Amino acid sequence: MLRARATLPTIVALAVLVFVLPAATGVARSRLASDGSLLWATVNVCDTADHPDTIGIRGSMPGTGYRQQRMYMRFQLQYLASFDDKKWHNIGAAGDSGWIDVGSAKYRQRQTGRNFTVRPPDTGAFRLRGAVTFEWRDGTEVVKRARLRTTAGHGNTAGADPKGFSRASCVVTK
């Protein structure tokens, strides 16, 4: 009967492979699930003197910790069909940013945004909001996707007008 004898360096190397590596990758992956505070979308510009007839949408997404993965956002502008029926609709191509590469997923968090110019109605008002789709990609493979509607309460948004502005929707009037 043959007996294999493990040396202390071999045991330590196996312990690292079995226990440490899965834990490290689990921490990076769990950042997506556990830190919801880094995943959000907001309206940070709404028809101001400096940005007339403009709605700004900004998003934030957490990284995975993986250098080879990239993060993407897509901003879509939506309008409320009427204040009575409460049905939201995408505006279409004029209100769609397409996919925007926001950088490597190795970072803890990335933010970006898009401004959309709208033609105000001749009478009445438009209520607008944003929908942001987030993707984490490894090459061409989408490893995770999320979609959020804009919400209020995200005061640290770059480009906000006025500073600190964060709302779920925006009303544009003539």
Q: What is the pLDDT of residues 67-90, one digit of tens each?
A: 999 999 999 999 998 767 778 999
* 61/137 Cα distance (integer angstroms): 13
Answer yes or no: is 21 within a domain: no
pLDDT number for residue 171: 92
The answer to whether residue 11 sits within a structural domain is no
The answer to the question of residue 140 being in a domain is: yes
Instruction: Give me the domain span that covers residue 74.
Output: 36-173
Residue 110's SS3 state is strand
- Considering the domain boundaries, does residue 159 fall inside one? yes
Indicate the residue type of 157: T
**Which run of H or E residues covers position 80?**
strand 69-80
Give the span between the Cα atoms of 39 and 62, in whole angstroms. Answer: 6
Number of domains in the chain: 1
**For the domain that residue 61 is a member of, what is the CATH number?**
2.60.40
Domain contains 69: yes
Predicted TM-score (pTM) of the model is 0.79
* Structure confidence at residue 35 (pLDDT): 57
- At 89, give phi and psi (nearest 5°): -135, 145
Looking at the domain assignment, is residue 5 inside a domain? no
Q: Check residue 99 and give its pLDDT.
A: 98
The series of mean pLDDT values per 10 residues for the chain, 174 residues long, is: 48 39 41 71 96 96 96 96 80 95 96 93 88 97 97 91 96 86
What is the model's pLDDT at position 23? 39
Distance CA 119, CA 139 (A): 38
